[in-house]
Structure 1
Amino acid sequence: MTGVSLGFIPEPLLVALDHILPSRRLPSTVFDSRKFRQIKASIEEIGLIEPLSVTAMDQATGNYVLLDGHVRLLVMQNLGLVDAVCLVATDDESYTYNNRLNRLSTIQEHIMICRAVDRGISPERLAKALAIDITSILKKLSLLKGICTEAAELLGDRQFSSDLSRVLRKMKPTRQVECVELMVAANNVTVAYAEALLVATPVARLVEGKKPARLAGISPEQMARMESEMGNLQAQYRLVEQTYGQDVLNLVLAKGYLAKLLENESVTRHLQQHYPDLLTEFGVVVETVSLDRRHFAETT
């Protein structure tokens, strides 16, 4: 098995700001932006969290070219700092390192905030450092309160609103897992979808054993119909989940066969002359599977 080459040197390096050259110019309006104020407040309170990304040092000048972190560099210069922790790239490609970064998921952010509080940083100081309201910090701190472990694991790599937890914790654990599975499968991890699932949840599967007061306007018949439809949807989801792997394998194999078949000009010409509708359907199958595989590659 071939080794995987790293995009940057693992050990960070302390570099003087005077020797870091920006690779692009920021607009003058950046000083008035919310992002600038947020980063400035964060660095003032708890220092630089995410290192800058730079190219390897130019041996002739001793300078480094900045790949990612232009606003952070500007903030540190504005604060009169003299050096910064940097990650040094192992290649010379001058594109932003944002293309290589995976942003923190909501649960990872929750864990980091909890660790900061455990180490003695107050929620008020964190709110000031991140330039957000203290209410947001408190919501992030209590994100997983009342959420079962299985549901939290399903949401582990997702970004979602803290208000999603408010909706989920009204459900019992097994129902939480079912709803999160549906949201993830639909790629729709939103508060609005969670509230719709809450509406369709039987009373017996809610923590308090009653529907929220604001849903009182829905008639018992409508509620029963929604619960029945949600039960059918859950059963269909389970059925699809059981056969999904084999179905995808069969589809990929069929796609490969059809793609090879359509590469044969004689076959394509024959189909075009005698079975044009069938040729169109074959093309749709090949293109659909190709799009699905590209989407999968882009999201992994």
Structure 2
Amino acid sequence: MNNDDTDNPPQDKPVRQGFENHCILVRLDQLLPGRVMRKAVKSSRKYKQIATSVTEVGLVEPPVVARNPDNVGTFFVLDGHLRIEVLKDLGRTEVECLVSTDDEAFTYNKQINRLAAVQEYAMIVNAMNQGVPEDRIARVLSVNVATIRRRSRMLNGVCAEATELLKDKNCPMAIFEILKKMQPLRQIETADLMINANNYSVAYASAILAGTPRNQLAEPDKPKTIKGMTADAIARMEKELARLQEAMSSIQDSYGKDHLELTVVKGYLKRLLGNSRVVSYLVVNRPEYLPEFQSIVEITSTMPPESG
């Protein structure tokens, strides 16, 4: 019996290196952006945080670029557009970059727009445990020291299961203040409701709290009072919320097919826009398509917009 395949297994193919061995210094005017930078970005909280961080501690993570095969000496920007804009505003002319051997941004995990609240909490607590002064953390995040202290206590009273569900969701810190007013099982239910509705607004979480039966509150013996609402109105809201939960469960099957199709479309467009050559072609030949494609990729909710 011939055992060649067993005795002499094929040699493993060499693993392709994802990045060049060393960072390189690149002039900012040699960098070709991979997306259109909206004017409102520079007034955003994220942009101000990055600007403060670069000013206070320098550039922690280098931008990621890919060499332009059609024009030697220029580079496609795969990740770090905001950092590059900040450097331009600070009057810098060069930046140290990590060079990718693949020009498609989707091939590595660089698509996160901003830290989720739980991730930011972990970063702050870790920095404080390492002895970083509160005032320095506050400067980097463009907030005051009192806010840093609040954020460092954000998860006190929130159960681990609810925290795990929301760890990568972009929900405001006030959501966790609302969760603390509920018992652990209700916290988990609330996290599930927000995820299913893809709604992480304070108003939505407050509505869930208002519709929470008293025996599921963290302080069940304390009368549930909501500004501007009578006890009868609160009781009706509890019943309405229970019906809403049932209705949401019943439509999930039909909703799933449409949501799947949208997810596939988003994934395909995200892959296209992750390719710098495709983006460059659109900028030159079909500039009107690019913002529309970006809007689809950036959709975070399939729920209809609120009227009024």
Counterpart pick for 2:32 among 17, 23, 48: 23
> Cα–Cα, structure 1 residues 120 and 17, in superposed 2: closer, same or farther, change >3 Å?
farther
- TM-score normalised to structure 1 length: 0.65
Query: Is 1:293 paired with 2:260?
Result: yes
Matched, 1:114 2:125: yes
Q: Aligned pair 1:102/2:112, yes or no?
A: yes
Q: Would you say 1:14 and 2:23 are equivalent positions?
A: yes
Aligned amino acid, residue 292 of structure 1: H
Determine the C-alpha separation between the residues in 2 that align with 1:63 and 1:148: 50
Secondary structure at the aligned position of 1:55 is classed as strand
Higher relative contact order (CA 8 A, sep 6+): 2
What is the rounded CA distance, in whole Å, between the counterparts of 2:185 and 2:81 in structure 1?
46
Partners in 2 of 1:16 and 1:220 — Cα distance? 66
Between the aligned partners of 2:85 and 2:144, the Cα distance in structure 1 is 24
Cα drift, residue 166 of structure 1: 0.9
Question: Are the aligned partners of 1:68 and 1:97 in contact in 2 as well (CA < 8 Å)?
Answer: no
Deviations 1:115-141 (CA, angstroms, capped at 9, x unpaired): 222222223212211223334433332
Structure 2 matches for 1:24-173, cutoff 5 A?
A: 24=33, 37-56=48-67, 64-76=75-87, 78=90, 83-84=95-96, 86-92=97-103, 101-103=111-113, 104-173=115-184
Written as runs of structure 1 = structure 2, the 5 A alignment for 1:141-220 is 141-209=152-220, 210-211=222-223, 213=225, 215=226, 217-220=228-231
Identity %: 32
Alpha-carbon distance in structure 1 between the residues aligned to 2:127 and 2:102: 34
What TM-score does the superposition give when structure 2 sets the normalisation length? Answer: 0.63
Higher helix share: 1
Task: Give the structure 2 partner of residue 265 of structure 1.
Answer: none
Task: Quote how far apart the aligned CAs of 1:74 are.
Answer: 4.8
SS in 2 for 1:160: coil
Residue in 1 that maps onto 2:7: none
Classify 1:54/1:119 alpha carbon distance in 2 versus 1 (closer, same or farther; 3 Å).
Answer: same
Q: Secondary structure at the residue paired with 1:207?
A: coil
Partner residue of 2:241? Answer: 230
Q: Which moved more, 1:15-24 or 1:185-194?
A: 15-24
| AA of the residue aligned to 1:187 | N
Inter-CA distance 69–144: structure 2 relative to 1 (3 Å threshold): same
Unaligned runs of 5+ in 2: 1-12, 268-299, 301-308
Q: CA RMSD in A?
A: 4.2
Secondary structure in structure 1 of the residue aligned to 2:172: coil
Give the Cα separation in 1 of the matches to 2:61 and 2:223: 44
Q: 1:39 to 1:98 in 2, by over 3 A?
A: farther
Distance (whole Å) between structure 2 residues aligned to residue 117 and residue 173 of structure 1: 27
| CA–CA separation in structure 1 for the residues paired with 2:202 and 2:258 | 29
Q: 1:68 to 1:232 in 2, by over 3 A?
A: closer
Residue 222 of structure 1 aligns to a residue whose secondary structure is: helix
1:108 CA displacement: 1.8
Q: Which runs of 5+ in 1 are unaligned?
A: 252-287
Report if the CA contact (8 A) 2:24-2:99 is conserved: no
Distance 1:138 1:195 in 2: 23
Moved more, 96-105 or 107-116: 96-105
Superimposed CA distance per residue, residues 201-221 of structure 1 (whole angstroms, 9 cap, x where no aligned partner): 2222222222454x1653333
| Cα gap change, 1:92 to 1:176, in 2 (>3 Å) | closer
Paired residues in the alignment total: 248
Change over 3 Å in CA distance of 1:219–1:46 after alignment to 2:
same
How much has 1:37 moved relative to structure 2? 4.9
Alpha carbons 1:147, 1:169 under 8 Å: kept: yes
Corresponding residue SS for 2:219: coil
Give, in whole Å, the separation in 2 of the partners of 1:37 and 1:159: 18
Counterparts of 2:178 and 2:256, CA distance in 1: 36
Partner AA of 1:21 in structure 2: Q
- Following TM superposition, by how much is the alpha carbon of 1:67 offset from its aligned partner in structure 2, in angstroms? 3.8
Deviation at 1:11, TM superposition (A): 6.8
Q: What whole-Å deviation, never above 9, does each CA across 1:153-179 have from its counterpart, x for those lacking one?
A: 121221111001111101111111112
Secondary structure at the aligned position of 2:190 is classed as helix
